């Protein structure tokens, strides 16, 4: 039941965390907020914010690696293709190998099932880009983006945050 509940929460996040307008200033504010949090909490992440036509913000934190931008690029591709968050895709697809089914025709070099990519949605326009974070466990990557969007858009984090996972 927990997975189904998480999927419903993520759908609510995607429906709620929508911009009236999105521009370079919004990208910079959100990216800077994620960067500031990463520095404060020593999070070894990269932040990559892009519309579908160009990059708008990028930052790499201490401890991030050369692999993180590739993970972010592949997450971006998933959001662009499916217009939903990558963590939602992870939970819906339930594929431990992190690849899409062969019938999808998606190359592993360009698409990955890994959380941390979140759609930038604008009222009246739909999904226009992606905020990607890479470097933490996927649920945490996703949570960092959701927290930043809640803060930027003025939504209560507690009402949209996924519950902590129980350890086995």
Tell me the CATH number at 108.
3.30.450.150
- Within 13 A of 23's CA, how many CA atoms are on the CB side? 3
Report the SS3 class of residue 76.
helix
**Dihedral (CA of 67, 72, 75, 76) sign:** negative
- 116 and 137 in contact (C-beta within 8 Å)? no
Cβ-based burial of 113 (10 A; exposed 0-12, middle 13-18, buried ≥19) = buried
Q: How many domains does the chain have?
A: 1
Range of the domain at 62: 2-160
Over the stretch 106-131, which tens digit does the pLDDT of each residue have? 999 999 999 999 999 999 999 999 99
Give a yes or no: residue 166 inside a domain.
no
The verdict on pTM exceeding 0.75 is: yes
Average pLDDT over residues 40-65: 98
Bridge partner list, 55? 50
Sequence-ordered alpha helix ranges (H) in the chain: 2-16, 24-41, 67-82, 86-93, 138-153, 157-160
């Amino acid at each position: 039941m927990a997975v189904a509940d998480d999927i419903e929460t993520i759908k609510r996040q995607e429906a709620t965390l929508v911009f009236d307008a999105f521009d370079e200033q919004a990208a910079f504010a959100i990216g800077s907020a994620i960067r500031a949090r990463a520095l404060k909490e020593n999070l070894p992440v990269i932040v990559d914010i892009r519309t579908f036509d160009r990059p708008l913000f990028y930052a790499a934190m201490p401890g991030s690696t050369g692999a993180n931008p590739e993970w972010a690029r592949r997450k971006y591709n998933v959001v662009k293709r499916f217009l939903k968050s990558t963590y939602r895709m992870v939970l819906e697809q339930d594929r431990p190998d992190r690849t899409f089914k062969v019938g999808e025709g998606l190359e592993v070099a360009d698409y990955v099932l890994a959380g941390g990519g979140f759609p930038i949605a604008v009222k009246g326009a739909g999904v226009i880009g992606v905020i990607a974070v890479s470097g933490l466990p996927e649920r945490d990557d996703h949570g960092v983006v959701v927290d930043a969007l809640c803060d930027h858009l003025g939504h209560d984090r507690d009402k949209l945050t996924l519950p902590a996972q129980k350890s086995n």
